[in-house]
Structure 1
Amino acid sequence: EMLVGPSKALLMDEISTGLDSSTTFQIVKFIRQFVRVMDGTMLMSLLQPAPETYNLFDDIILLSEGYVVYQGDREHVLEFFESMGFKCPERKGVADFLQEVTSKKDQEQYWSDKDAPYRYVTAKEFSEAYSHYRGGQQLAADLRIPYDKTKSHPAALETKKYTMSNWDLFKACFSREWLLMKRNSFLYIFKTTQITIMSLITMTVFLRIKMKHETIADGGKYFGALFFSLINVMFNGFAELAMTVSRLPVFYKQRDFLFYPSWAFALPIYVLRIPLSVLESALWIILTYYTIGFAPSAS
């Protein structure tokens, strides 16, 4: 959903949780293509990604114990650790190696300098060593240069609350609501059929040529028929209540992310539901109004 907006910087935290490696690879591959096409930036945190997923990234940021152990080109990460005396075996995935080489429990197995005794290298020492490594020095040099604001594109900073005009927002929400109605067409056909059948049953319950209205008891019959009609028409619309409630979490999320205002979501629902409500009420009135005897002169 966030890809729909004007955002060019995507910050993603543990998006692979609960996903298999194949699905994670497909998602990261798609986002990588999006970033390349839209000239955006993606910062994603992953825990032990598969080798094919790891190879999709351009730069790597390795964090350990609150320190930035490495931040730079993916192709040079192994070179840095080899300069520190640690080598990734050919059988080992690079992502797994990066996670274990900073661990006190697993670090020793990657020590490659057999002539020198092994000594545990802390994350702080890795971080300090990287600051003197050519990649770290180049990064520090780049950060010292002030950003040239004249290179900023006018569209880089969004100045409007919503990305589209009110009319475009309404049309977009209206199109979505119309699509949902077509997908759920069976529900509306069922509701119309249901109220038609109920009106036919009501005709047989209150069927009379002329309803008397001289006494209080006669008035009770009027109110009973009216109340029964009201309850049927009202409960006929309850079928959509569960669908509406299930959509609320999505609405709240999209509203808070400024996809659209609340009125743009609610107004199309009213516009499309009112004709259906009028149709259902008209069917009920046409089939029951005269047969029950609400209008004696017409009977």
Structure 2
Amino acid sequence: MSAGDARGRLPASLTLVGAGRMGAAMLNGWLAAGLDPRRATIVEPQPSEAVRGLCAARGIALNPAEAAAAAVLVVAIKPQGFAEAARALDRMIGSDTVVLSILAGKTVADLKVRLRSARAVVRAMPNLPASIGRGATGAVASPEVTEDQRAAVDALLAANGLVEWVGAEDEIDAVTAVSGSGPAYVFLLVEALEAAGVAAGLSPAVAARLARATVSGAGALLDASDLPAAELRRNVTSPGGTTAAALDVLMRADGLAPLLHEAVAAAKRRAGALAG
């Protein structure tokens, strides 16, 4: 969904609790998509200079004495701080408020136990590329979420990139492990490719530039193509060539695939452990 598509469906009012890196990134996307800054409220005990400046420049209420109930309450604090903040959050929920939580590991049931006023809840997991409008977010709605509420939340999430609504809440931990944590896996790939380039004889500066451009370029090509990743891989792999030699290593039984399976499984377990 483009920013233009999202504009007509954005909520009439919004309160964002937690304007750290992810919260602030999402806010920028919402404003770019047409969210009325006069109907937005930010609650952040330690706002960065960038957040302070944005609120001052756009007329966004920052840390009011009392935040009125909004159409959407976005909870973007760290999961470990949720229990302590819950009572204050509960006072921000009205009868028509939908709670949008991006807290890793906190289930809809967890949220409703702590937020006694919450009925309609959407649990979502975005990722860091949302900061440039290229995020990937998985979301699931509780049964109480109305069509209009889901549309408003979808518009907010789509302002920051791809949105995938999953059918069952237990899929969100898998979303967290794949796309929520996934950018770090890609950054590690760049680090490893840089180091391999240096070991192969390149200077650190040249290896760093080549690795970075290769991974970002491959990502752009993947985004621009309708072909599956496997077919794109085959298209750049000549039989008996250099790429084939490298892939023989990466695709062996103890290669990249089982490592990623293990990594995603570990991230999923950790997401589950954060619940409660």
The TM-score bracket by the shorter chain reads under 0.3
More relative contact order, 1 or 2 (CA 8 Å, 6+ apart): 2
What TM-score comes out, normalization by structure 2 length? 0.24
Structure (1 or 2) with the greater strand fraction:
2
Larger Cα-atom Rg? 1
What TM-score comes out, normalization by structure 1 length? 0.23
